[in-house]
Every structure is written in structure tokens, then in C-alpha cells.
Structure 1
């Protein structure tokens, strides 16, 4: 295992689980089983809302801004003190997003010494080609020989047109942010296809750029919420404006030509990201939450 790969065994400030390390020790050791355990802890506040009482959604929607794995675990145990390996009834699962299930799975894997990183991008809903594309997050992990993708949400595994194991999501099913940017930049897809035609051209293109940057931030060691902005992303990249930031454009174009499964290429891209618009200790992050509204925190 190279030093570059080994770095992804370390918890980030987002995936760190202190003071709950002991509670993770008894979790299963296989990736597929870990996905199943995550499924019993977190439920999507939007796509799974039909399974939830409206009052739960109304009173507890703030849970989607938990951000940190430790915060999520605190809330999970406050809702149900059972061991993590025991699935909760849906009404006692944390309300979250695919980003949160991916962060939790990544955290569990890193706790076991498995190199893992959250990847941000786009996929067809439930991996059904007839469904529109939407923003999504999965986990990429090192199996000892290569980087594989893991789907952290069992409903996506069960609902796919093409059956797959949760520990081996076919790469053709998930498009990392840089690939979405490449397809948009080359005119292979219109911007609106990435938002399911729910947004206009500029906001849809902004969504693609944002998820390409979220993916780079995660590779660099900080897993953002899906409504965060910071640095040049916040100052020069606006949803309803034409994109004219040359440095960000160069960074995104470098991401297009980078294969992050190759150590040296990934390291070079991460270093460039840090120079242009990286997240470090003390970086001001502006969050535009669909629940809490706008607020700012320090990374």
C-alpha cells in the first residue's frame, strides 16, 4: 500500500468518531455488511419521506445539517441507545442524505483501517436509466489491490436496473463530479440533465461545478455538506451567473484529465485544489441549508 493510499485510512475532521470509537469496534468487517448497518441507522429525509410521519420530518429536519460523523452518532444514540449493529425502526433513524450515509460508511471503514474516501457526483435515481440524473455521493475504498466503489444506500442497491453488490458498484453507474464537468464542457449533455431539468441552465451548470469541487474537497480531506461554499467557490461562482473564473476553470479542467486511482495524478490534483480553493483549518464555510437556511462555520 502506497503512502498516498494509506492516508485515506486516517479519519478527517468530518469522519472522526470520538468519543464513540468503542461503539464501532463490534461492527462487522466486510464492506457489504457495513453498508447494511448504515442502512439501519440513517434514512433519507426526502427520498424516503413516505416511510416517515410528517411530524418527525417537521420536528427533526435539522438533523440533515449534522455534518460530522461524531454529531451524527450522538444523535443516533440519543434516538436509540441500541448497539450500532442493531437496525433502528425507521422513526428512530437519523434523518440525512446520501452524503451522510457515505460519510458514515467511510468513517466505519477508516475505523477498521480500510482506506476510504467519499466521492461526489451524479447518478440516475436508484440506478435506473429511465430516471433522471441527480447529485449523489458514494464511497471509494481500497480493497488491497485497487479502488472500488461502494454504494452506502441499500435502496439504491435493491432498486437498480442492473443487480450489483453494495461493495462493488459498477463505475458506469456513477459519474464523479469531474466526469460530469467533462460531459458538460464538451457538450455531451446539457446542463439541465444534471438537475433532472428542475433548474435553469446557469444553476444547473453551477450544480455540476459545485459537485466537482465537493469531490476535490473530499479527496483533499474535508467532506462538505451538499450545500456548502467556500473560498473562490463562494466569491466567484454564483448559481445564476455565467462562469468566468479562470483559475477555477483551469482546476476543473485539470480534474477532467486526472485519474484519481493513480497516486501521482491524484496527489497533483489535490495540491492544485489546495492552492486554488482548498479547505484548511479555519476556512470559512458558507452553508446554504434547505432546512436551517444560510449560516457560516469554520472548518
Structure 2
């Protein structure tokens, strides 16, 4: 049964689908899922297998699933493999879509938005997958009429990774740290980035990785729910150092993200305006995809037919 909630006053309409979250012709499949974290989590884990954590059990033929960026296309591939089956019908692990946290979250957000509930994805770092390590991660948020409720659809309650994956704590000491929180702590000299990144000993980790994650957090907040291996705007290459001007801009972005999370409506408005007007922050019609499959960089056109929206979800 759909929930009816008042939309929080925001500059972006988080109840409205973006081109990324829109299920298109598959909308009915998602309408059968109750719009609660407890119901959504098992469904998205049934559809998706993590390309690294479960990749050893997955066929090579489906590896390119990880580059599916639109929910409509993700569901199309699922239905090709499981014609006419509901999303709750069990899928064998090897027949699931290969994806990552971004995909678990985007499907969750799609289900919620489709039933009128404000929802968005959050980019940051999780400390509950690898002991002593802060993994780059994406989780979901829904607005329950009173507050933003953060949850991790990728984590099963029985895994023991989190006390309650359906309602994550926020603030200091929380299991999930937003990219802006990590950025600010790093800039203040309060964070050792050596334990932050994709995985221990992975090249995508450390100071530069923490700094650039703010781009993804901001883009996802305002409807550009891009792949975690897309590049756009002023995002530097891994070996490139950020200019002082760019760091100053990201200092402002991080502070406004944290203030907006604390309920500062003026900060939300200012942040949204900055994102829309500054070409260094938002993607245009194309991004560069640097896939973990090693086939990049590939230029990808974000326009879908006549729906040439460069900052989707923004009225």
C-alpha cells in the first residue's frame, strides 16, 4: 500500500523520477513492491549481485551489466532473463544483474518515487564491510514526513553488518559517513584518508579519492545519479592534483551539504543554485565512463531520445 506523505520544502522535487530512476514501461513491476525499506531491500538484492563481492559466481557474459545506468534498461535486461516474472520471484545468483551499491540504491529510490515518496541517493563511505576500512558506498534516503531516513538496501539484516540497515544512525560515529563529512574532516586534518577508498591496496583510495567523492554526492543529491566511474566537469584524473580554486569551491560545497543535511533551507537553496550554474560541478550532455572492465574512457551521451535533460529532476 502506498504511503501518502507531505513533501519536504526543497528546491529539487525528490518525489519526481529522473531519467535515471524512471522505470518507464516497467513501472508496474515496481508498483507491486511495498514502499518501505524492509520490503525494498530483499527485492533489490534479489535482482542484483555485486560485481566484486559476488563476481566469482557470475558469468562473464553479464559483466557489462555494471554499466547499465537507467532503471528502465536494468529492468529490461532482468525481464529478458526472467520473462514475465515479478521482482519478488527468486533469481539464481548467476542470473541476476551485476551491479553495485549505486544500483541497489537507484532501484530503491525508483520504487519510492514511483509511489510518491521523496527519495534520493547518498554517496560516502561505509565502515561495516571491511574491518578498519571505509569503503566508498551509496545508500538510500526517504523522507517520512518528518525527517530523512537513511537505509542500506544492499545489507540484509541477518548479515549482522548493521544493527538496523533500515534506519541508519547519522552524525559523528555513524556507520556511514557522507562524502562531504569525510571531505571536511580531511581538510581539517582530522581524518587519515589511507583507510578510505574502493578497497585496501586499491589505487582508488587516499586523499585524492576522498576529495573527489564530493562531486558524486552533489550530483546524486540533485538528480544526476551517475555511475561511480563516470567523469565530468572539473573532476581531476587520479594522478592530477586539485587547484586551490577548485578546493575552495569544494570547501563551499561540503559546508553547504552538511548544513543542508542539518535542516538549513537557505544552504539547500544556495547549494542547488551553485550546482545548476557552475559547469565545474554538474555534467552536461556527455560524461566519460571509466569502467572497472577496463574499456574506457568511453564518451556516453546522457540524452535519452528527445529528453535532453542535463540536470534531471530539477524543476
TM more than 0.5? yes
Alpha carbons of 1:158 and 1:296: their partners in 2 closer, same or farther (altered >3 Å)? Answer: farther
Displacement, 1:5? 7.3
Match of 2:76 in 1: 74
Deviations 1:158-195 (A, max 9, x none): 4345411x320222111111111112111222232212
Select which of 4, 10, 16 maps to 2:16: 10
1:198-217 CA-to-partner distances (Å, cap 9, x unmatched) read 256x9632322232110100
2:311 paired residue number: none
The corresponding residue for 2:97 is 94
Structure 2, unpaired ranges of 5+ = 1-6, 303-315
Runs of 4+ in 1 over 3 A off after TM superposition: 157-162
Q: CA deviation at 1:272?
A: 1.2
Give the corresponding residue for 1:255. 253
Give the 3-state SS of the residue equivalent to 2:300 in structure 1.
strand
Paired residues for 1:1-299 under 5 Å: 1-4=7-10, 7-50=13-56, 52-53=57-58, 56=59, 58-81=60-83, 82-126=85-129, 130-155=131-156, 157-164=157-164, 166-171=165-170, 172-195=174-197, 196-199=199-202, 204-233=206-235, 237-246=236-245, 248-258=246-256, 259-261=259-261, 262=263, 263-276=265-278, 277-279=280-282, 282-291=284-293, 292-299=295-302
- SS of the residue corresponding to residue 59 of structure 1 reads helix
Where is the helix percentage greater, Structure 1 or Structure 2? 1
> Matched residue pairs, number?
285
Q: Structure 1 stretches of 5 or more lacking a match?
A: none
**TM-aligned CA deviation for residue 219 of structure 1:** 1.2
**Cα deviation code 1:22-60 (max 9, x no counterpart):** 22221123221011111111110101234x15xx0x221
Aligned-residue RMSD, C-alpha:
2.1
Q: Distance in 1 between matches of 2:200 and 2:41?
A: 31
C-alpha deviation, 1:232, in angstroms: 1.7
